[in-house]
Structure 1
Amino acid sequence: MSGDRPWEGNWKARLYERVRERGFDSLTAFAESRPTASLVALARELGPDDIAGAQVFSGLVAEAERSHRLTHLVRGQLVRELWRSLPDGWPAVLDDANRFKVAKALGLWSGFTPETHIERVRRAGDVLLAHPPPPGWRPLGPDDELLRTLLPDEEA
């Protein structure tokens, strides 16, 4: 497989065709049916050789902007990064190894945050580090109570 293959042709049309083939009317609905799957896992499910995680995220951002649900998307991306980086949930002790895992999750989350939400994400990350959630905490989706406290919806 060529690394350029996902970007060949009309990838947006291909992406949405794959979503519809799976019985969903939006990329958001598809992604929300798998709230803990990474962007790469979602892309592989849609097209193991010709869909990239970045394309999935681009589509999710576009849909979230249209529906005024960017904060929901941002919370959802934190869920995905926590599940990927902290498979056993939030660590009981932030030793060097666990501190790195948490920093990785928060850093990846920040990297996938639209510019409009970056300051809110930084503040939420600071709160998580200053007041850690219970050991083992792993949100199941973007509507997790703690996540809604950290990043309440602001969209109209």
Structure 2
Amino acid sequence: MYERVRERGYDSLTAFAEARPTASLVALAEELGPDDIAGVQVFSGLVAEAERNHQVTRLVRGQLVRELCTCLPNGWPAVLDDANRFKVAKALGLWSSFTPTTHEERVRRAGDALLATPPPPGWRPLGPDDELLRTLLPDEEA
């Protein structure tokens, strides 16, 4: 996987993924190796790099971007009717499932905050440095 990342001109899996901040893990895996790399392998590699570089919170924010772009391609819904509530719950649930144990509580609180005080309709973060995301999950790694 890392050799394929380098073949594409990136020095890390993180750099490869951050060049595609709205692509799903499956899309990243398919780009690297449609027949032999899975999204979960990409995520495991991203977690390992994030831990080494003390950037796990940034990775967690980036994963929320990926899930929101997949589940809510038109941005945050204006009305949380049953259909939209399901889409939001799916995005938050998938995000939570791809959260390292160290960040589970912070992700739960951030998800609760998004539901309690929804972002503006159409909000669609395009990367981990989105202002609202940084407010919900500020960096705290040393």
TM range (shorter): over 0.9
What is aligned with 1:152? Answer: 138
What is aligned with 1:136? Answer: 122
What is aligned with 2:34? Answer: 48
Q: TM-score, normalised by structure 2?
A: 1.00
Provide structure 2 residue ranges, at least 5 long, that are not aligned to the other structure: none
Secondary structure of the structure 2 residue equivalent to 1:57? helix
What is aligned with 1:34? Answer: 20
Displacement of 1:116 after TM fit?
Answer: 0.2
> Structure 1 residue 74 and structure 2 residue 67: aligned?
no
Displacement of 1:25 after TM fit?
Answer: 0.4
Which whole-Å CA distance do the structure 2 matches of 1:97 and 1:129 have between them?
Answer: 15
State the aligned residue count: 142
Which residue among 41, 48, 71 is the counterpart of 1:85?
A: 71
Which whole-Å CA distance do the structure 1 matches of 2:6 and 2:137 have between them?
Answer: 31
What is aligned with 1:65? Answer: 51
Identity rate, percent: 87
Which whole-Å CA distance do the structure 1 matches of 2:66 and 2:126 have between them?
Answer: 9
Instruction: Quote the RMSD (CA, aligned, Å).
Output: 0.3
Runs of 4+ in structure 1 over 4 Å off: none
Displacement of 1:132 after TM fit?
Answer: 0.3
Displacement of 1:137 after TM fit?
Answer: 0.4
Which whole-Å CA distance do the structure 1 matches of 2:7 and 2:29 have between them?
Answer: 14
Which whole-Å CA distance do the structure 2 matches of 1:79 and 1:96 have between them?
Answer: 22
